[in-house]
Amino acid sequence: MSKMGKYLMLLALLPLLAIIPTGCAPTGAPTGAVAVYVTDPGPVSNVSHINITASEVKIHKAGDDGEGEWISLNITNPSFDLIALNETGLKELLAQGNVTAGNYTQIRMTIAGVNVTLDGETQNATVPSGELKFVRPFQVVDGNTTILSLDFDASKSVIITGTSEVIVRPVVTLNVSMQKE
């Protein structure tokens, strides 16, 4: 091939080479928000406070390999009083974060501590596992907020042993809803 032919071929290929990098450039993965709230709708006799402190909230993203990954959410308010939530009838934001859109399978909350005020006396309580686990699939949709509400039933969660030890075995329902932005 002549010099002129090679030159013309190169000129013909240059526009194609310019297109290839932009056509194959990775794009940002779609993201959605997750907000975790706590609430308690029921009354508890002789218990005036159930203060719970969370040290970690994380969600599990399903993976193609069957393993997936755990993603920690930012804790915005680590301590909450279930009785105060009951009296106000409100939900309180516990944790939130922007995550990759997709299928999620679980939420876990690590409990750093619990104290219960019973008949005017505050006592440290034990939580047998130290962690709340919810295995329930939910979706995070691009541009939307997935709301996970941890609905505690304080009246069924506090146990007083024969030795006056206070044990909190949280009875919690996980409710999932979607808020479009």
b vs e for 46-60, b when ≥16 Cβ sit within 10 Å of the residue's Cβ? ebeebbbebebbbbb
Tokens 């009354």 map to which residue? 43
- Cα 66–Cα 64–Cα 61 angle in degrees, nearest 5: 75
Q: Is the pLDDT of residue 17 over 50?
A: no
List pLDDT tens digits, range 38-73. Answer: 876 555 667 888 899 999 999 999 988 778 899 999
Sign of CA dihedral 86, 90, 95, 100: positive
What is the predicted pLDDT for the residue at 89?
64
For the chain, percent of residues with pLDDT exceeding 70 = 80
What is the predicted pLDDT for the residue at 66?
74
Report domain extents, the chain.
30-180
Q: Is the pLDDT of residue 13 over 50?
A: no
User: 9 or 122: which carries more pLDDT confidence?
Assistant: 122
What is the predicted pLDDT for the residue at 60?
96
How distant, in Å, are the alpha carbons of 74, 93, 142 from that of 112?
A: 15, 17, 32
What is the predicted pLDDT for the residue at 7?
34
**83 backbone dihedrals φ, ψ, rounded to 5°:** -70, -40
Cα 35 to the center of its chain, rounded Å:
6
User: 74 or 28: which carries more pLDDT confidence?
Assistant: 74
What is the predicted pLDDT for the residue at 140?
95
Q: Is the pLDDT of residue 4 over 70?
A: no
What is the predicted pLDDT for the residue at 154?
80
Q: Is the pLDDT of residue 159 over 50?
A: yes
Rounded Cα–Cα distance for residues 62 and 101 (Å): 11
Distant-in-sequence, close-in-space partners of 14: CB < 8 Å, separation ≥ 6: none
CATH class of 30-180: mainly beta
List pLDDT tens digits, range 113-136. Answer: 999 988 888 999 988 889 989 899
Which amino acid appears at position 141 of this protein? V
Q: Is the pLDDT of residue 153 over 50?
A: yes
Rounded Cα–Cα distance for residues 170 and 93 (Å): 18
Q: Is the pLDDT of residue 9 over 50?
A: no
158: exposed, middle or buried (C-beta count within 10 Å: 0-12, 13-18, 19+)? buried
